[in-house]
Amino acid sequence: MLSARQKHCLKGIGIRRWVERSATPEISETEQQVETDDPLVNLHPPSAPPVETCSEPVAEPELKPPVIDLPLDSWEAIQHSIHQCQSCELGRNCIQKVPGIGNQQADLLIIGEGPGQDEDIKGEPFVGRSGQLLDKMLAAIGIARSQAFITNIVKCRPPNNRDPHVDEVQTCNQFLQAQIKHINPEIILSVGRISAHSLLHCNDPVGHLIKEMHQLPGTEIPVKVTYHPAYLLRTPSAKAIAWQDMKTLHQILNK
């Protein structure tokens, strides 16, 4: 049976029933839910998870990011370069940069889409309601926020929370790749559509991408895609699917 702590965490997330992975639907469908009391503590390491290549690869755009004449050869240099960057509209108009927060040697790297209003004000990723839900999701599998490193595809807030433009993603990719190289995580949790498409270079729906494990192009780092907490707040029925994603994440981190 689930422990009292796990029950409390799951209640906070809003999950009382679960779906089997084989029943994972597209976003617009109603999830088929089944009862389960399979405890996280009894999860067993999976066999080598299948790695899927996106079915709709996206050609590299011709637009090239500006060359940032700032060093990226140490953690301090990466942080300093992000704060100094003025290479696109986002960097010139945000309140403050949001490089990321957490453990620089984390096994788990969480990559979201971009800072929102709360993040722009505080200078930290995933604060406010979305951040609180993410914290509960992590706590449900025994991970504290401070144990992971959390960042975004872009480090500055897009105006009116719009999707970041291609040139903005490309500019920030230099920082993101430097962070990934420095942290060298065991696994990346890709949170939301913009994150998944940017990391995996594809346009597949998130509802499809969450069904399989992926691999970060050019590396051996596995990537697990899940829904963004903001989407889960709008669509509570999808929390059951996100819970299955978190269980898979727990298995990989504890194998």
| Separation of alpha carbons 113 and 121, rounded Å | 17
Tell me the helix, strand and coil percentages in the chain, rounded to 5: 45, 10, 45
Dump pLDDT digits (tens) for 6-23. Answer: 665 666 666 654 444 444
pLDDT value at 33 more than 60: no
- Angle between the N-to-C axes of helices 4-13 and 128-139, in degrees from 0 to 180, rounded to the nearest 10: 150
- pLDDT recorded at residue 45: 40
| Residue 137 CA: distances (Å) to CA of 99, 147, 166, 214, 220 | 22, 13, 30, 21, 25
Q: What is the pLDDT of residue 255?
A: 83
pLDDT, position 23: 42
Q: State yes or no: pLDDT of 228 exceeds 90.
A: yes
What percentage of the chain has pLDDT greater than the value 90?
71
pLDDT at residue 27 is higher than 90: no
Q: What is the CATH number of domain 4-13+64-253?
A: 3.40.470.10
**Of residues 104, 130, 98, 142, the one with CA closest to residue 226:** 130
| Model pTM above 0.85 | no
- Rounded distance, CA 10 to CA 6, Å? 6
Neighbours of 51 (CB within 10 A): 12
pLDDT at 53 (0 to 100): 53
Which has more confidence, 71 or 8? 71
First to last CA, the chain: 21
Q: Is residue 71 very low, low, confident or very high in pLDDT (cuts 50, 70, 90)?
A: confident
Question: To the nearest whole number, what is the mean pLDDT of the chain?
Answer: 83
For 139-165, what is each residue's pLDDT tens digit?
999 999 999 999 999 999 999 989 999
- Mean pLDDT on 177-200: 97
What are residue 150's DSSP bridge partners? 101, 110
**pLDDT for residue 3 is more than 60:** yes
| Residues facing residue 191 across a β-bridge | 226
**Top-confidence residue, 223 or 56:** 223
pLDDT given for residue 65 in this prediction: 52
**How far apart (Å, rounded) are the C-alpha atoms in residues 181 and 176?**
9
CA separation for the pair 84, 91 (Å, rounded): 9
